[in-house]
């Protein structure tokens, strides 16, 4: 879960200077998939792996700017089926377990012993899943807008919970679906997003994306339309993952938290996040001594929310300063 809007609306004064990648890669990861990977910042710096939202959101140059380029080696990649990865919008061999394996390919290809994980929304889900699978390969986690991939969270967003606060937008999301099918909107949209008619896929991709986009930002502006290729990839991939309950067992990420409780973590969570309500972040942090939960006032879900953005930069700068004070 994440959004397209607002990436250019954030105050540039709170971000680091834009750093052009010093390396780009297109990695073969099997089953016909190639994933786009880029590296920016300091080639000898502390490696931080950025996990974008969605599933299907892709990475953007904006995401490089949370990291001091003199200190961090920022690694961004487009997950299977989206962004500059190929084939676009493909759900073949595209599961959480495949993405975890892809991260291992990236880590090994780039010669990294371990990485700091930086992920928001679905990116936070994937960060937790990877860390729990490979805790010895992770140095810490910085998470935003926590989504644990549970049925309750999906019911909130696609079963009418969030719609109680946004009845007009909920009505727009439901309107393309016949009334008889509105009891399971994920399934109803799935049937249309995976139609053999590409035009039909595109027509249903836009309302799927716009429902999430409209709720993501409390302070940053939403967009009313997205490029068709982006919308199709986002909607198909996200719907595929949610149809399959994110390829996780119910409650898995909380159940297996003990595997990563030795790792330092910071959660930056919007107090008024309507896409991923704060309860999930609270449950994740509760009883985890090394986890610092920061509930950000007057903020929603989006990475570009001004206070969310500022807090994430603050977190990354603080870890930079700790590294300098206590070099490995």
Residues 158 and 306 in one domain: no
Residues 126 and 40 in one domain: yes
Residues 133 and 271 in one domain: yes
- This prediction has a pTM of 0.95
For residue 5, being part of any structural domain is answered with: no
For residue 266, being part of any structural domain is answered with: yes
Sign of CA dihedral 185, 159, 57, 206: positive
**Residue 143 in tokens:** 């998470």
For residue 6, being part of any structural domain is answered with: no
For residue 2, being part of any structural domain is answered with: no
pLDDT tens figures, 38-97: 999 999 999 999 999 999 999 999 999 999 999 999 999 999 999 999 999 999 999 999
Running DSSP on this structure, what letter comes out for residue 86?
B
Distance between CA atoms of residues 249 and 138, nearest Å: 22
Please say if the pLDDT value at position 13 is more than 50: no
Q: Is 225 a catalytic residue?
A: no
Q: Is 92 a catalytic residue?
A: no
Residues 238 and 159 in one domain: yes
Distance between CA atoms of residues 227 and 150, nearest Å: 29
Q: Which residue among 2, 68, 78, 273 is the active-site one?
A: 273
> In CATH, what number is assigned to the domain containing residue 74?
3.40.50.1820
Query: Domain of 241?
Result: 152-245
Please say if the pLDDT value at position 285 is more than 60: yes
* 37 compared with 5, residue with greater pLDDT: 37
Q: Which of 245, 273, 289 is the C-terminal boundary of a domain?
A: 245
For residue 3, being part of any structural domain is answered with: no
Instruction: Give the whole-number percent of the chain exceeding pLDDT 70.
Output: 93
The count of structural domains within the chain is 2
Distance between CA atoms of residues 62 and 80, nearest Å: 20
The set of residues, in sequence order, having a beta carbon less than 8 Å from that of 315 and lying 6+ positions away, is 142, 266, 268
CA angle 279, 162, 62 (to 5 degrees): 75
Q: Is 155 a catalytic residue?
A: no
Number of C-beta neighbours around residue 186 at 10 A: 17
Name the residue among 275, 293, 298, 273 with its Cα closest to residue 283. 293
Q: Which residue among 40, 121, 220, 304 is the active-site one?
A: 121
Residues 48 and 132 in one domain: yes
Q: Where does the pLDDT of residue 10 fall: very low under 50, low under 70, confident under 90, or very high at 90 and above?
A: very low
The SS3 of residue 165 is: coil
Residues 275 and 251 in one domain: yes
For residue 89, being part of any structural domain is answered with: yes
Which residues, in sequence order, are bridge partners of residue 41?
73
pLDDT tens figures, 214-239: 999 886 555 557 789 999 999 999 99
Residues 128 and 157 in one domain: no
Distance between CA atoms of residues 154 and 32, nearest Å: 30
Give the per-residue pLDDT at 25: 98
Answer for the pair 220, 10: CB distance below 8 angstroms, yes or no: yes
For residue 1, being part of any structural domain is answered with: no
Q: Backbone dihedral region of 228: left (phi > 0), alpha (psi from -120 to 50 degrees) or beta? A: alpha
Residues 145 and 69 in one domain: yes
Give the per-residue pLDDT at 326: 80
Residues 116 and 158 in one domain: no
For residue 188, being part of any structural domain is answered with: yes
Name the residue among 10, 69, 29, 11 with its Cα closest to residue 45. 69
Please say if the pLDDT value at position 163 is more than 90: yes
Residues 282 and 133 in one domain: yes
| DSSP notation for 102-151 | HHHHHHHHTT-S-EEEEEETHHHHHHHHHHHH-GGGEEEEEEES-----H
Which residues, in sequence order, are bridge partners of residue 143?
119, 267
Q: Which secondary-structure segment (H or E) carries 317?
A: helix 306-325
Q: Which of 188, 217, 245 is the C-terminal boundary of a domain?
A: 245
Average pLDDT, rounded, for the chain:
94
Q: Which of 245, 277, 309 is the C-terminal boundary of a domain?
A: 245
Residues 231 and 262 in one domain: no
Give the per-residue pLDDT at 159: 97
Half-sphere exposure of residue 166: CA atoms within 13 angstroms, side-chain side? 22
**Residue 80 in tokens:** 């299977």
Residues 217 and 279 in one domain: no
Q: Which residue among 78, 280, 301, 304 is the active-site one?
A: 301
């Amino acid at each position: 879960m994440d959004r397209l809007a607002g990436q250019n609306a954030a105050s540039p004064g709170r971000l680091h200077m834009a750093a052009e990648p010093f390396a780009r890669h297109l990695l073969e990861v099997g089953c016909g998939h190639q994933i786009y990977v880029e590296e920016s910042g300091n080639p000898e710096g502390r490696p931080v792996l950025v996990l974008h939202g969605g599933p299907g959101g892709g990475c953007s140059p904006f995401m490089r700017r949370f990291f001091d380029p003199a200190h961090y080696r920022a690694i961004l990649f487009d997950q299977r089926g989206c962004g500059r990865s190929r084939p676009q919008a493909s759900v073949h061999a595209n599961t959480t377990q495949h993405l975890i394996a892809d991260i291992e390919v990236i880590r090994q290809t780039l010669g990294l012993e371990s990485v700091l994980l930086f992920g928001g929304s679905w990116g936070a889900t994937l960060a937790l899943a990877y860390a729990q699978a490979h805790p010895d390969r992770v140095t810490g986690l910085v998470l935003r807008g926590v989504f644990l991939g549970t049925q309750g969270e999906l019911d909130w967003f696609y079963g009418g919970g969030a719609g109680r606060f946004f009845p007009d937008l909920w009505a727009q999301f439901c309107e393309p679906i016949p009334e008889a099918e509105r009891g399971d909107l994920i399934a109803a949209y799935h049937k249309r997003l995976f139609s053999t008619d590409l035009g039909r896929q595109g027509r249903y991709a836009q309302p799927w994306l716009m429902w999430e986009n409209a709720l993501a930002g409390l302070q940053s502006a939403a967009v009313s339309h997205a490029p068709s290729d982006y919308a199709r990839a986002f909607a198909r991939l996200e719907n595929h993952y949610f149809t399959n309950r994110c390829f996780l067992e119910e409650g898995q990420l909380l159940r297996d938290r003990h595997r990563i409780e030795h790792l330092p973590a910071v959660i930056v969570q919007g107090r008024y996040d309507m896409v991923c309500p704060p309860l999930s972040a609270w449950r994740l942090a509760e009883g985890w001594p090394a986890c610092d939960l920061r509930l950000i006032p007057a903020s929603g879900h989006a990475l570009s929310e001004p206070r969310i953005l500022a807090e994430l930069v603050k977190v990354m700068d603080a870890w930079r300063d700790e590294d300098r004070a206590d070099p490995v």
